[in-house]
Amino acid sequence: MVKAYLRYEQASSFGVITSLESNIAYDSTGKHVLAPALEKVGIWHVRQGICTKTLSPSSSRVGKSLAVTSIASSSASASVAVGYADGSIRIWDSEKGTCETTLNGHKGAVTSLRYNKAGSMFASGSKDNDVILWDVVGETGLFRLRGHRDQVTDLVFLDDGKKLVTASKDKFLRVWDLETQHCMQIISGHHTEVWSVDIDPEEKYLVTGSADQELRFYAVKQNMPHVSVVSDSDANGVDESGDQLTENKWEVLIPFGEIQRQTKDRVASVRFNNSGSLLACQMAGKTVEIFQVLDETEAKRKAKRRLRRKEKKSSKEDVENVAANGDASNETEKADTVTTTPTVPDVFKLLQVVRAGRKISSFSFCPITPKDSLATLALSLNNNSLEFYTLKSSEKEKTATIEHQGHRSDVRSVALSADNTLLMSTSHSEVKIWNPSTGSCLRTIDSGYGICSLIVPKSKYGIVGTKSGVLEIIDIGSATKVEDVEAHGGTIWSIAPIPDDTGFVTVSADHEVKFWEYQVKKKADQEAKQLTVSNVRSMKMNDDVLAVAISPDAKHIAVALLDSTVKVFYVDSLKFFLSLYGHKLPVMCIDISSDGALIVTGSQDKNIKIWGLDFGDCHKSIFAHDDSVMGVKFVRNTHYMFSIGKDRLVKYWDADKFELLLTLGGHHAEIWCFAVSNRGDFLVTGSHDRSMRRWDRTEEPFFLEEEKEKRLEELFESEIDNAAENRHGSQDEIIEEGVAGLAKKTTVDVLSAADSIIEALEMAENEKTRLAEYEEEKTRGKVPEFAPNVVMLGLSPSEFVLKTISKEKTNDLEHILLPLPFSDALKLLSYMESWSLIPEKVELVCRIATIVLQTHHNQLVTTPAARPILSVLRDILHAKVKESKDTIGYNLAAMDHLKQLMASRSDAPFRDAKAKLMEIRSQQAKRMEARLDTKTERKRKKKQKRVEDGHGHAWA
C-alpha cells in the first residue's frame, strides 16, 4: 500500500512592520498608512498604531519573486495599486481588503506606480526599462512605452493626464504624449542617475532628484504661456526667428534653475504635499529636507528685495566709479531694465531638516493637513519601524512610532513553550514574547545579542544565550530581566534542555560544554523568590563547539565541533562514546530522534547526514539545500524531520526512506532558526528578513509520487516562462526610440486558457457530430434515447463554448485567442450568430470578433467558406452595437436630466467637495489678509497723526 503523508502549509507570517524594497503611502482618507511587509501590504491605523487589514496575494509563486516593490494609492477612491518583484501588478480595494484584478505586463520588478488625478488610469515603470499605461476601469493594459536604456525610477502625469514624464537610471527625463503614444521631449543635463521626479498640484514646477549635489527645477510650458521664465536659454539670449520657434514647439519642460542640497547622499525621493505648499527631499541616509513653496506674490516680494539689495550694492560701486570716471548713466539704465521675475531660490525656501535615528527607506505626506501645523509626514526606517512627524513653521515634533510588532534586526532564535502557547524570539537588542496562534506581540524585553534561547518548563521564565557569553534569565510575566550570568568566555552557540526538566546544557566558542541546574532562590534585595541557574558540570573540548543535542532518554549527549566532526558522550560519566565524521565543513545543527535510534546532522557543506546512534554508522548522506543547512529537528515520536537553510527553504523529510516529502518556500532571506511544536502540528521559522512564519499541518493527505510529479511540472512551467521571455524580448535587440508596444505579456495561465478553449471547441464539434448522427439514425428507425456528454453539464455545444470563454478575463482575451489555429477561429465565428442574440454578451462577441479578424485577416479574406459567416455577422453586430449604444445614450441622458433637477435644488452632490473647500479656505485667507492689512494701515495712520500732533505742540 502506498504511504500517505499530511501536508504542511503556511498559516501566517508576522514580525514585519515595513520592508525595505518598497515605498510607503497614505490612503485617500489620511487615517491609514500602507506599508510593505515582504509579499504583503499592511494597512496601519496611524492613531491606534495597529494593523487593521493585510493585503496578501494568493499565488503559487513564493519568496523573493513576490516581494512588494511599489505602492500607489488613488486620491479619488479606495483603490490601491501594488507592484511586485515578478513584474505583476495587483489592484486592491483598501476598504474591503480584496484583490480586484491582477495585471501582467512587466518582465522585471515594478519600480514605480502613479495614478492620474481622476484615478481612472495609472502608469507603471519597471526594471525592464519599459513604462506601461493601464486602464483601471477596463482592468487592462493600454500600451507600452519603450525608449529608456536603464530601469525607470519614477514617473508623473502632466496636463490632466495627457502627458507623462518618466525618469530613469540612464540619466535622462522623457516627456511622452499619451494621445500619440510617442516621446516628445528628452531632457539631459543630469550627471548621474535620476532617482525621483514630481510636479506640484498646480503643474507650475517639476523637480528632479539625482546623486548630483543640486535639485533641478523645470517650468511647465503649456500652463505658463504668458509668464516669463528665468532659464539658462533666456540667459544666453533667445532668437525670435521661425527656426527657433519650431525647435521650441515640442518643449514642455523648460529649465528653471537649481538649489544646492544640504547633504552629500544621493536623493531617494522628492514629493510635494497635496496643497503644494511644501516640497520634501529624502536622501539615501537619515535626513529629509523640507522646502517651503512660496506663492507668487511672496516670491515676487522676495525677488524685489533681492534686486533692491543688488541695486544698493551696485549703486555703491557706481559712486566709486563716478568718483573715478564721472559717468554713471550707463549703469542706471541697466538697473532700470532688470525685471522682478522670481528665480528658484525665491520660490523654494529651506524650512527645516528632519533627522531620523536610523536610515530612512521612504516617506509619505498625509493628504489631510492638521489644523495647527503645515503637514504630517510618515517615515519608514530600515530598522522595521514607522515614525510620524508633525511639521510646524519653525519646528518638528515626533507624534507616533509603530515598532512594537517587530524586531529591529533579524530574528536569530525562536523557542516554543511546553504547551505551545508562547513563542520567544531573540534578535540584536531585544527579546519578544509572542502568541504563535495570532501572531501578536505580548512582551518586549531589552537584552543583549541573543543567539539561542529556551523557555523553562511551566512557561514562567526564559533563558537567552548571547554573543558576549552571558546567560540572561527573563521573567516572562513581568517582562523583566531577572539576572545576567557570566557563563562562557565566548559566544554561546547552542542551548539544549535536559529531558528531566531539571536544567540545560550550553556550548560555546570557548571550547566548553557546561551543564546547568535550575534553582529558585530569594536574594537579599528581592521580595519574592526568583529563578537562578548554577553550573554543576563542565567538559572541555579541543575546538569551538557549535551545536549540542541530548537524547530523549538522557543517555547520550552529542556535540558538533569546528573541525567538522560530531562527538557523542555518555551523559552520566561524560565518557567518549562515538565520533561521527564525514562532513567537509563544520556541522551547524544536530538532533536525535525520540526513540534514540537516529541522529541527524546538518552542515555548511549543504548536506544532511542520517546516522545510527547505536554504532555511529552513516545511513544516508543527502544533498539537502543550495546553501548552508542552519537547523534540523525531528517531529516528536516519528522519524519525519524538518531542515532549514540559507537558501530560504524549509524541507520536510522521511528519515527512514531518505525521501524529500515537501519543500516550503516563503521567506525572502536566510532562515536562521526554527522550532517544532511538541505534537508536530505546527512549526515556526525565524529569518534574516525579520519575519516569523507559522506552518500548520493540514488534514490534506499527499503521496510521494504525486509530489515528485508536481515538482517536475513547476520546473517545466518555469522553463516555459524563461523561454517565452527569451523569445518575446531578447536583451540584445535595439529598441526604436520612444515607441509604443503591446502592454500584456504571455504567461502560463494564458497558455492554459487557450488550451481549454481549443478543447471546448473540439468537444462541441464532437457533440454536434454525434447529434447529427443520432438524428439521421432516428429517421431510419427506433433508436435508444440520446445520451448527452456529461462533461458539458447538460449545455448545448454553443452554450458550452460560450461558458468556457466567459470564464476568462476580458483583458486577457487578446493573448488567449492569439495561439488559436485558423480552423478553430472559424468554428468560433460560426457560434457568434447565436451568441449575439444574448443582450449581455454583445460586448464580448464584438471583442472576440475584432480580435479574430485582426489576427487572421489574410486567411479570412482568401477563404470562401468564411464569407457567409462574416456577412451575417456584419449585419447582426452593427445592429446590436447600435442598439446597445442607444440604450446607454438614453440612460446617460436620463441621469443627466436627474442631475440637473437635483442641482437646481442644491449643488452639493455634484461639486468636487475638495475643490469647494479649497475655494472657501482661499477666500477666508484673503479676507484675513485684507483685515490684517487694514489694521496695520490704521495703526500706521494713527502713529503718523500722533507724531504730527506732537510736532504741532512743540512749534506752538
512-521, 533-542, 752-761: least confident range: 752-761
Q: What is the pLDDT of residue 61?
A: 63
* Residue 870 reports pLDDT greater than 50: yes
3-state percent breakdown (helix, strand, coil) of the chain, nearest 5: 25, 40, 35
Q: What is the pLDDT of residue 947?
A: 66
Report pLDDT digits (tens) over 641-652: 999 999 999 999
Residue type, 484: D
| Distance, first Cα to last Cα, the chain | 128
* Residue 916 reports pLDDT greater than 80: no
Strand boundaries in 509-594, DSSP class E: 512-521, 530-540, 545-550, 556-561, 566-570, 576-580, 587-592
- Of the pLDDT bands very low, low, confident and very high (cuts 50, 70, 90), residue 64 is low
* CB 500, CB 491: distance < 8 Å: no
Cβ within 8 Å of residue 287, ≥6 positions away: 262, 263, 265, 353, 354, 355, 356, 360
Q: For the whole model, what pTM was predicted?
A: 0.81
Q: Is 942 helix (H, G, I), strand (E, B) or coil?
A: helix
In the beta sheet, which residues pair with residue 623? Answer: 607
Cell of 794: 447538460
- Of the pLDDT bands very low, low, confident and very high (cuts 50, 70, 90), residue 910 is low
- Of the pLDDT bands very low, low, confident and very high (cuts 50, 70, 90), residue 159 is confident
* Residue 630 reports pLDDT greater than 90: yes
* Residue 861 reports pLDDT greater than 80: yes
Cell of 821: 489555429
**pLDDT (average), residues 368-386:** 90
568-582, 829-843, 920-934: least confident range: 920-934
Q: What is the pLDDT of residue 908?
A: 56
Q: What are φ and ψ of residue 818, in 5° steps?
A: -60, -45
* Residue 300 reports pLDDT greater than 60: yes
Cell of 311: 541695486
- Of the pLDDT bands very low, low, confident and very high (cuts 50, 70, 90), residue 288 is very high
Q: What is the pLDDT of residue 913?
A: 58
**pLDDT (average), residues 278-305:** 89
* Residue 239 reports pLDDT greater than 50: no
- Of the pLDDT bands very low, low, confident and very high (cuts 50, 70, 90), residue 954 is very low
* CB 131, CB 125: distance < 8 Å: yes
CA–CA distance, 362 with 23 (Å, rounded to integer): 5
CA–CA distance, 74 with 28 (Å, rounded to integer): 7
Q: What is the pLDDT of residue 229?
A: 45
Cell of 251: 518643449
Q: What is the pLDDT of residue 720?
A: 66
Q: What is the pLDDT of residue 842?
A: 83
**pLDDT (average), residues 614-639:** 94
| Crossing angle of helices 748-780 and 797-807, rounded to 10° | 170
* Residue 443 reports pLDDT greater than 60: yes
* Residue 320 reports pLDDT greater than 80: no
Nearest to 506 by CA among 548, 543, 534, 536: 548
| Better-scored residue on pLDDT, 655 or 842 | 655
Q: What is the pLDDT of residue 740?
A: 65
Cβ within 8 Å of residue 450, ≥6 positions away: 412, 413, 426, 427, 431, 464, 465, 466, 472
116-120, 689-693, 817-821: least confident range: 817-821
Report pLDDT digits (tens) over 576-599: 999 999 999 999 999 999 999 999
Helix (H) or strand (E) holding 618: strand 618-623
What average pLDDT does the structure give for the chain? 85
* Residue 373 reports pLDDT greater than 80: yes
CA–CA distance, 133 with 603 (Å, rounded to integer): 49
Q: Which residue in this structure is represented by grid cell 518583484?
A: 85
**pLDDT (average), residues 845-868:** 86
CA–CA distance, 599 with 610 (Å, rounded to integer): 6
Q: What is the pLDDT of residue 851?
A: 86
Q: Alpha helices of 512-632 — where are they, by DSSP H?
A: none
* CB 519, CB 463: distance < 8 Å: no
Cell of 22: 518598497
Helix (H) or strand (E) holding 140: strand 140-146
Strand boundaries in 213-365, DSSP class E: 214-220, 253-260, 267-272, 278-283, 287-293, 348-355, 360-365
Ordered DSSP codes for 355-408: E-SS-EEEEEE-SSPPTTSSEEEEEEETTTEEEEEEE-SS-EEEEEEE-TTS-S
Percent of the residues in the chain that have a pLDDT greater than 90, as a whole number: 51
Q: Is 176 helix (H, G, I), strand (E, B) or coil?
A: strand
Cβ within 8 Å of residue 269, ≥6 positions away: 23, 154, 195, 196, 209, 280, 281, 282, 362, 363
Q: What are φ and ψ of residue 176, in 5° steps?
A: -110, 135
Q: What is the pLDDT of residue 529?
A: 82
* Residue 921 reports pLDDT greater than 90: no
CA distances (Å), 731 to each of 150, 152, 500, in order? 12, 16, 63
* Residue 932 reports pLDDT greater than 60: yes
Cell of 80: 490601491
Q: What is the pLDDT of residue 324?
A: 62
* Residue 243 reports pLDDT greater than 50: no
Chain-centre distance for alpha carbon 94: 15
* Residue 340 reports pLDDT greater than 90: no
* Residue 903 reports pLDDT greater than 80: no
* Residue 616 reports pLDDT greater than 60: yes
**pLDDT (average), residues 727-731:** 44
**pLDDT (average), residues 505-530:** 87
Ranges 79-88, 291-300, 878-887, most confident? 79-88
CA–CA distance, 580 with 560 (Å, rounded to integer): 9
Cα Rg of the chain, angstroms: 36
CA angle 47, 52, 54 (to 5 degrees): 135
- Of the pLDDT bands very low, low, confident and very high (cuts 50, 70, 90), residue 310 is confident
CA–CA distance, 660 with 642 (Å, rounded to integer): 10
Cell of 656: 527512514
For 394, other C-beta atoms within 10 Å of its C-beta total: 6
CA–CA distance, 295 with 273 (Å, rounded to integer): 14
Inter-residue long-range contacts of 871-875, CB under 8 Å, 24+ positions, other chains counted: 872/833, 873/829, 873/832, 873/833, 873/836, 873/849
CA–CA distance, 71 with 378 (Å, rounded to integer): 14
| Better-scored residue on pLDDT, 816 or 65 | 816
* Residue 238 reports pLDDT greater than 60: no
CA angle 692, 68, 744 (to 5 degrees): 140
| Better-scored residue on pLDDT, 882 or 782 | 882
Q: What is the pLDDT of residue 770?
A: 84
373-377, 569-573, 810-814: least confident range: 810-814
* Residue 505 reports pLDDT greater than 50: yes
CA–CA distance, 563 with 544 (Å, rounded to integer): 8
